[in-house]
Amino acid sequence: MNILGMGIDYTTGNLLCEAIDDQIAGRETVRALYRAHDRLLALTTVPRDVALLREKARRLPSPDYGDPRAAGWTYLLAADDPARAAITEIIQPLARHRGMPHPEAPLIYARGAEEDWWRWIEHNYVTRDLTRPPFYVLIIGDPDHVPFRFQALLQTIAATGRLHFDSPDDLQSYVTKVLRLENAPEPAVEREAIFFAPQLPPRGLDHDATYYSRRFLAEPIARLVGCEYGFVPHVLSGDRATKEALLATMRATRPALVFVASHGMVAPAEPPDVQRRVNGAICCQHNRDEPRERWLLSAADIARDQYILDGAILFQFTCFGYGTPARSEYAHWTPLLEELNTDTDFIAALPQRLLALPHGPVGFIGHVDAAWVCGFHDEGQASDNEHWEARVAPFAMTVRHLLHDLQPVGQAMAPIGQRYVALNSKLADDIDRLRRGDIYETPDFRAKQAQAYILRNDAQNYMVFGDPAVQLQVPAAASG
């Protein structure tokens, strides 16, 4: 089975990574896990202390986790963030709206080694006095001050989101927008959803990765949304999934959700300013000879005064859609990912631009790092393959939580984040069993390790940009 990357190189126009055989990926994963075994154990054993403390809190009457005021809400700032005072002032109205008892007293994160992060969470977030910690935590700041990996750990036990903008005016715009929409007498969106899934021409294989993300991810979820959730799906797939069509549909409709499954752009050979502009931009349907500006949807295509997707949530299944890490979790799979030409984590420009719009989305779900799909020589394998079902299920469930259950976006994403510790534990246990000779590195074992590693990184790297407590305000379903 081939494992296919969901990224295109900005400089060459070629795929960021060629297809990787699951045996090679599995072999390299096993080697990497041997080297990272102690780190995996640290991610699984320390949280048990946290779990014991949380278990005490669970004995208290359970709050309604769908109600941020009942479940608790707070925000987190870095101790050394130079914008800390300005952020605290801007966020006060939202903190009061969420029912935060002391809006001027957020969680304060102090830089520390990764192996100490769980201890920080235990002592600063998880309380020992049988009071329940706030379930919703909004990180405000760039990932240089509060790393992506710290966010991934925190979202295993809390509904977590992040905001970071280059200007305090953009943060103010977002806060004002959320308060306007949540206090409005009528929803800004209709019971509609856009599903955008290009299918690019194959490059030396039976199918491009976008064939699988279109056919086995976006289109099946669109059918569920239309048949079971009472929403009208606008499906732009294959040749219809052009940049022009996506922009026109987003402007002409009032969708609650936009679900994108495509390649993300990445510019490893370009200087940092170019990477920050284009990494994670959406690659739309195109031919190889078309100029880039006709098919690449980036932040530059969204005017700051544009009225688009007001009150909606955007879910982007692409490489680097949320941000770019300084080091890829898949660097051991291919030399192309060993050097992403960035010294620090950074957030993609497109979600920043969209959420800063005064009349734009309130939430974004995207992926840090490279994203992958599995390709099948026999298409019948897709419906029978346990990995494919395990891969699609979290995304389908998140969409259900957002549209059918109307859960806050952080709660809707919680099942994905909560799998992170369990999958780390599984991978660490597998390596322990391999070391003891209880199991052997067979072809089947390698394939399963590669697949489990993708699932683990999905749990780590899919994150919420925006307040995790925002939830879609949609009209009631028509009766009868």
Q: How far is CA 221 from the centre of its chain?
A: 17
β pairing state of 372-375 and 2-5:
antiparallel
By the 8 A CB rule, do 160 and 414 touch?
Answer: no
Phi, psi of 420 (to 5 degrees): -60, -50
CA gyration radius for the chain? 21
466 phi-psi bin (left φ>0, alpha ψ -120 to 50, beta other): left
Smallest CA-to-CA distance from 348 within 461, 186, 438 is with 461
Q: 96: which 2 tokens?
A: 């009061």
Q: Which of 403, 396, 453 is nearest to 190 (CA)?
A: 403
Q: How would you classify residue 437: left for phi > 0, otherwise alpha for psi between -120 and 50, otherwise beta? A: left
- Residues 95-131 as b/e (b if ≥16 CB within 10 A, e otherwise) read bebbbbeebeebbebeeeeeeebbebbbeebbbeeee
pLDDT at 377: 44
Classify burial at 214, counting beta carbons within 10 Å of its beta carbon; exposed 0-12, middle 13-18, buried 19 or more: buried
Q: Which two tokens stand for residue 334?
A: 């291919």
Chain CA centroid to CA 113, Å: 24
Q: What is the pLDDT of residue 157?
A: 87
Q: How far apart are CA 144 and CA 345, in angstroms?
A: 6
The helix/strand/coil state of 238 is helix
Query: What would the two tokens of residue 60 be?
Result: 């208290």
CA nearest to 421, candidates 46, 112, 126: 46
247's CB contacts (< 8 A; 6+ apart) are 297, 301
For residue 456, give Cα distances in angstroms to 329, 346, 348, 366. Answer: 10, 21, 22, 15
For Cα atoms 163, 169, 173, give the angle at the middle one, nearest 5 degrees.
Answer: 70
Contact 181, 446 (CB under 8 A): no
Two structure tokens written together for 480: 């009868």
Give the predicted TM-score (pTM) of the model: 0.93
Distances (CA, A) of 313 to 33, 60, 66, 138, 309: 35, 33, 17, 16, 8
Domain extents for the chain?
2-32+187-409+427-463, 38-182
> Do the strands 323-324 and 346-347 form a parallel or antiparallel pair, or are they unpaired?
antiparallel
Q: Which pLDDT tens digit goes with each residue over 30-60?
A: 888 887 766 666 666 555 555 565 566 556 6
Q: Within 13 A of 35's CA, how many CA atoms are on the CB side?
A: 6
Q: What is the largest CA-CA distance in the chain?
A: 64
What architecture is domain 38-182?
3-Layer(aba) Sandwich (3.40)
Q: With a cut of 50, which residues of the chain have pLDDT below it?
A: 377-378, 384
CA atoms within 13 A on the CB side of 87: 25
pLDDT (0 to 100) of residue 206: 76
User: Distance (Å, rounded) from C-alpha 205 to C-alpha 196?
Assistant: 23
Decide: 269 and 341 in contact? Cβ < 8 Å.
yes
Task: Give the model confidence (pLDDT) of 66-107 as tens digits.
Answer: 999 999 999 999 999 999 999 999 999 999 999 999 999 999
